[in-house]
Homo-oligomer: A and B are copies of this chain.
Amino acid sequence: MTDTAAPAVQKSGPRISGAFHRLLAFSGLIALVVAFSLASPNFMQTQNILAILQATSVNGVLAIAATLVIITGGIDLSVGTLMTFCAVIAGVILTYLGLPMPLGIAGAILAGAASGLISGTIIAKLKVPPFIATLGMMLILKGLSLVISGTRPIYFNDTPGFNQIALGSLVGQIIPAVPVPNGVMILFAVALIASFVLSKTALGRYTFALGSNEEAVRLSGVNVDRWKIGVYALAGGIVGVAGVLIASRLNSAQPALGQGYELDAIAAVVIGGTSLSGGRGTVLGTLIGALIISVLANGLRILSVAQEWQTVVTGCIIILAVYADILRRRTL
């Protein structure tokens, strides 16, 4: 391109640097943290911060999986029960079959990916809307978790070290002052990988392209079905990681848990600025969204707000946080 001349530069007014812009995205989160710190001295304690991060890890990983699917313009209602299903699979491999730990972890992740593959196939090949396909999968997986586990928790007592996956702290062994639990590091690792996939790989490109205009992608000669199935399978694999995390945290696979978690995951995604109509979204935003949810829950509890009022306040703040984000983007 010879002449770098002005291409349609849309925005007028002062331009704000990208870094500052990105920082501002945190503003809702920062405002919350500051408010709670002022309100209670117990909030800004290392232990509490770690508790918040720990509380974010499972929902964060689920939300990252949901982000991928939502960017394609789809939705995944099965993340919660799939997580449980993966945990149960890990339980079966480790406790019932007594196989070594890495196999259990791999099994859970593969089970997640396989389930994602099935959802993706139902959506791409049978053209069943994502809402229905994943609603069906949600129920199927919920039932199967109960069937496989015999409707009782599977404990990982025979796999010493299993609960270290989420609760141990490799970081803490190196820098004792910041004993960040492994579960949190795993969340960050998943976030990095997902970010990388979204921005640097073909799969990521098609994820955005599908959400932007699926018909156009098809008309461009891309094998839309294959990539779409790929996105769901990747999301499923990530949910598998969440399954391992929650199983490790509870040192057990709790077969009845999981339903309802999809709503928190999707909420984190949407609070993080990803549009449910697809085509746009970031993993960083989702992380912030998930953190906003955990900080709110934790802070209100620390302040000993009555539980019914916690719910009311949470509702208000979620709306306000998103509204603030909308205002910020409008004025930028």
B residues in contact with A77, CB < 8 Å? 263
Q: Chain B residue with minimal CB distance to A309?
A: B143
- Whether B312 lies near A128 (C-beta < 8 A) is no
- Whether B147 lies near A276 (C-beta < 8 A) is no
Write the nearest CB–CB distance from A286 to chain B, whole angstroms: 14
B residues in contact with A266, CB < 8 Å? 131
The answer, yes or no, to whether A102 is at the interface (CB within 8 Å) is no
- Whether A270 lies near B311 (C-beta < 8 A) is no
CA distance A169 to B142 in the complex (A): 38
Report which of B128, B146, B259 forms a contact with A326, defined as CB distance below 8 A. B128
The answer, yes or no, to whether A144 is at the interface (CB within 8 Å) is yes
- Whether B318 lies near A139 (C-beta < 8 A) is yes
Q: What residues of chain A have their CB less than 8 Å away from a CB belonging to chain B?
A: 75, 77, 122, 126-129, 131-133, 135-144, 146-147, 151, 259-260, 263, 266-267, 270-271, 275-277, 307-316, 318-319, 322-323, 326
B residues in contact with A132, CB < 8 Å? 267, 270-271, 318-319, 322
B residues in contact with A141, CB < 8 Å? 315
5 chain-A/chain-B pairs, Cβ below 8 angstroms: A139-B314, A139-B315, A143-B314, A147-B312, A151-B308
Write the nearest CB–CB distance from A72 to chain B, whole angstroms: 13
- Whether B276 lies near A139 (C-beta < 8 A) is no
Report which of B122, B126, B144, B318 forms a contact with A135, defined as CB distance below 8 A. B318
CA distance A147 to B263 in the complex (A): 23
CA distance A140 to B140 in the complex (A): 31
- Whether B138 lies near A315 (C-beta < 8 A) is yes
Closest 10 CB pairs of A and B: A139-B315, A143-B312, A143-B311, A140-B315, A136-B319, A146-B308, A136-B315, A132-B322, A136-B318, A143-B308
